[in-house]
Chain A
Amino acid sequence: MQPHITASCAIRGNQIFVNGTLVYQGTADTPDLAAFLVAAYRHFGLQYPKFFKMDALCKLAFLTAELLLPTTSLAARRGAGEVGVVLANRSSSLLTDLVHQQSIQEPAAHLPSPAVFVYTLPNIAIGEISIRHQLTGENTLFVADSFEPEALVAYAGELLAEGSCQACLCGWFEAGLTSHEAFFYVVEVPAPEVPARHPHHTSAIEALYTQPLYS
């Protein structure tokens, strides 16, 4: 059976969508990204204290995965290296890079923090998600100007085709100077009782990606 996309989750502006349905809307008093993500974390009653140590980019990725993965069969596949994680982003870890740079900019006020520095890599988000959900399979972080599914489809498709993973968490997450966005989806060969949702094709992913805009 061909792999299909079985679920998706998107965070745009102060809205969160699961499978295209609006599940959370931030309020006007959550103006910045981190505050919005913390408010959403509390709204969903999540219990994971490490969340508060994460930078905004990791909070964004973590929350997207947290709301997405329970709607899939990934929990049954994890732990055996059978779930891959293939994500892409634009600004890498720019927001935290700027915080670290600020702490070293003036030699007279040199005070870098290891707790900040560790988040100056975009793939730390993959690490946070992997720790939370015990995902131990293939992991790749692509960087691109914008969300272009072709590379994700090509690579995740090959991982599934060669049997290197049974399911793959894929998508785009971005926390830049002026905007943020996350769009994750799960591609897997669904169990027979699970209705196949969307084919693992670029056009289907693009349709899912734009869908929440019109909800």
Chain B
Amino acid sequence: MKKVLYAASTCVTPLGFTTAATFEAVQAGQTGLRPHWFDFSDESFAAATIDETWLAEAFAPLGHSAADYSKLEKMSILAVTGAMSRVAFSLTGPDTLLVYCSAKGNISHLAVGGTPYLAQLARTVARACGFANEPLVISNACISSLQGLVVARRLLKAGRYQHAVVVGADEVTKFTLSGFHAFNALSRQPCLPFDAAREGINLGEAAAAMVLTVGPVEGLSAGAVEVVTGFSTNDAHHISAPSRTGEGLYQAVTKVLQQAGGGPVDFIGAHGTATRYNDEMEAQAFHRAGLHEVPLHSLKGYFGHTLGAAGLLEAALGIESMQRSELISSRGYTTCGTSLPVRPIRQRAPAELRRFLKTSSGFGGCNAAVLFAKAA
């Protein structure tokens, strides 16, 4: 069977515009979370946003007209262009699929009378980056880009394409922030995933792009990372509350582990939004799957919840973690805050990391799980 291999990634985040720069900032203990004020409240909300000036400086050398693109489009183009530049093979032929994933796209345009369509956004990014094929667009709430990886892996495995570029992108908007606020799901302070004192999420923005390949490609070493398998499930329980038993996530994780033929998982990139219900649900699912002793982190303490971008951003940083043999700590965790304990990573540490499980869950009851492994 064909192996689907990870070839490269680029993360565009408040902490850096490459995966390496973002990873190093995280390992240096930085966070993108800052107080932000919105016009409907006198109090601030912690959120992680990308500096517009910094973005403009990075975007200018690409040679596109800055005025033609929204902030989200610039972030996306920067991420995709970056990832494409990191592989030695061409990605602009008919053998490459672009999978564009976003929960809300250019939703901020609604406030100024625009009508944002996700397919239009994806096409704008695809054309700017020179793709031959029409992009495939996925909008599955907060699992969007991890589900993008699941879909891309299947289509590559089926032999439909040689390469795929999966990109996840979402931005901080008043639209989403006010909605989560109405849900009482926001924490004004930096979020505390899996901690006893956690109060809710922070929002963040990011674009992350990842190149996958099944082609016979030069330059991929024996330590290459394989996208072993991935599944999504639905809780079939509630449209906005996670299953109390973690059923859907448990099923997704179980399917992944079964298809991978068992074996240890060295660390988990959890969703860890820092709401009461989400983190409890994840703890339940990981216990049921027998993974509660596996070190895990949530990266929401560095980036906030980047919605549709979160899965791919966190997968890219998890792979960087594998390749550098260095665990990322779960920022914001000090005291166990779930009824069944899990093992958030307390500090950056060297470790041999061969197998990495990434999970995401979202509104609509959706869950996704993907296993990455270093090829033998």
Contacts and interface: CB of A to CB of B under 8 A. Distances in A.
B89 interface: no
**Most chain B C-beta atoms within 10 Å of own C-beta, residue among A94, A135, A141:** A141
B44 to A, nearest CB: 15
A136 to B, nearest CB: 5
Contact of B138 (A124, A127, A141): A141
B103 A127 contact: no
B183 A114 contact: yes
B54 interface: no
Interface string B171-183: 0001100111111
A94 B107 CA distance: 9
A113 B182 contact: yes
Contacts of A145: 117, 119-120
B175 A139 contact: no
- Indicate the size class of the contact surface on chain A: 35 or more
A127 B234 contact: yes
Nearest to B363: A121
A121 B234 contact: no
B110 A101 contact: yes
A171 to B, nearest CB: 16
A117 B155 CA distance: 33
B150 to A, nearest CB: 8
B239 A127 contact: yes
Given A81-B255, A121-B103, A177-B115, A127 B137 contact: no
A113 B157 CA distance: 43
Contacts of A124: 141, 239, 363-364
B235 interface: yes
A28 interface: no
A107 interface: yes
A35 interface: no
Contacts of B103: 121
Interface in A98-113: 98, 100-101, 104-105, 107, 110, 112-113
Q: Most chain-A Cβ atoms within 10 A of its Cβ — which of B234, B240, B362, B363?
A: B234
Given A113-B182, A131-B365, A140 B234 contact: no
B154 interface: yes
B117 A90 contact: yes
Contacts of A158: 154-155, 157-158
A143 interface: yes
B244 interface: no
A110 B174 CA distance: 11
B168 to A, nearest CB: 14
Interface of A: 81, 85, 90-92, 94, 97-98, 100-101, 104-105, 107, 110, 112-114, 117-118, 120-128, 130-131, 133-145, 151, 154-155, 158-159, 161-162, 164, 177
Given A81-B255, A143-B137, 5 more contacts: A92-B118, A123-B141, A127-B363, A127-B366, A143-B139
The 5 closest A-B pairs by CB, nearest first: A127-B364, A117-B179, A110-B40, A143-B137, A107-B39
24 contacts: A81-B233, A90-B117, A90-B119, A92-B139, A97-B175, A98-B110, A100-B175, A101-B111, A104-B175, A118-B363, A123-B364, A124-B363, A124-B364, A127-B238, A131-B237, A139-B364, A140-B138, A141-B138, A141-B139, A145-B120, A151-B136, A155-B154, A158-B157, A158-B158
